[in-house]
Structure 1
């Protein structure tokens, strides 16, 4: 049976996009019966969440208006406005969070994503992938997390 996995992300500097592109390649190579789709949140609709069997939500952590530890503003708006009434129907959702050590709340995006998943009837899939500072040079870490995710998906 074919299944689908949606990678929904927000990336302004390109770092989150870099991470999810590595993950997408790994997942496509190893999950032969799964269609992997990547969509920027600015181009996504609520229907995209409904069509996917599994989801990865990915965001950097932002300092918005002096409030550290926030989601990327594009993903924050999409989840809070467009998806405020979405029911994830127990779908497994994995989390990818990026952060920067210049800030106290280095990678708090994962907390916001976890709250969204839980409050919308989803199931958190595995531990979050947390990337601190530049993702370039952390490909091995990204791939190891992706391999764990593949195992979780294969066992479910």
Structure 2
């Protein structure tokens, strides 16, 4: 199966909980998953994996968190043509730009030529409801299908 990187930024633990859930489902599907905090890696790592999944919470009113800024800026230096990626994030619908970090990362990745394996996953706060679990599982199934049928 595929070798997958999950990199994430989490402050309250919600995005990390989501990353853990995604990792669990990917491993249940037979993939090898490596998990890294976003502020400890750079986008050049994507080339070492069959697919990469980025997770970030949204700060304030639609901004990337400070832990994600350097990583995002590093996208400018990378040619990600054809590199399979997707994005997930946690957010709060009390803010007008719910999970905007997901949109920002998707746009930045596509501008560098990356291929989106799956539309971004947006979860309200912590992934603890049944709908969140179902959406997370569907997200992973689509990633697994992409990596199995298209990329591997």
Note the C-alpha offset of 1:108.
1.1
Q: Spell out the pairing of 1:93-112 with structure 2 (5 A cutoff).
A: 93-112=85-104
Distance 2:128 2:66 in 1: 23
Is 1:78 the counterpart of 2:75? The answer is no
Q: Spell out the pairing of 1:108-119 with structure 2 (5 A cutoff).
A: 108-119=100-111
Is 1:130 the counterpart of 2:122? The answer is yes
Distance 1:123 1:50 in 2: 13
Distance 2:115 2:43 in 1: 17
User: Where does residue 18 of structure 1 map in the other structure?
Assistant: 17
Which of 120, 133, 154 is 2:148 aligned to? 154
Q: Which runs of 5+ in 2 are unaligned?
A: none
Distance 1:46 1:124 in 2: 15
Query: TM-score under structure 1 normalisation?
Result: 0.85
- Larger helix percent: 2
Distance 1:50 1:120 in 2: 13
Alpha-carbon deviations, 1:34-60, whole Å to 9, x = none? 421111012213442221221111111
- Larger strand percent: 1
Note the C-alpha offset of 1:152.
2.2
Distance 1:145 1:118 in 2: 19
Residue range with higher mean Cα deviation, 44-53 or 120-129? 44-53
Alpha-carbon deviations, 1:46-103, whole Å to 9, x = none? 442221221111111111xxxx1112221122221x3430111311111102210110
**Matched pairs, number:** 148
Query: TM-score under structure 2 normalisation?
Result: 0.87
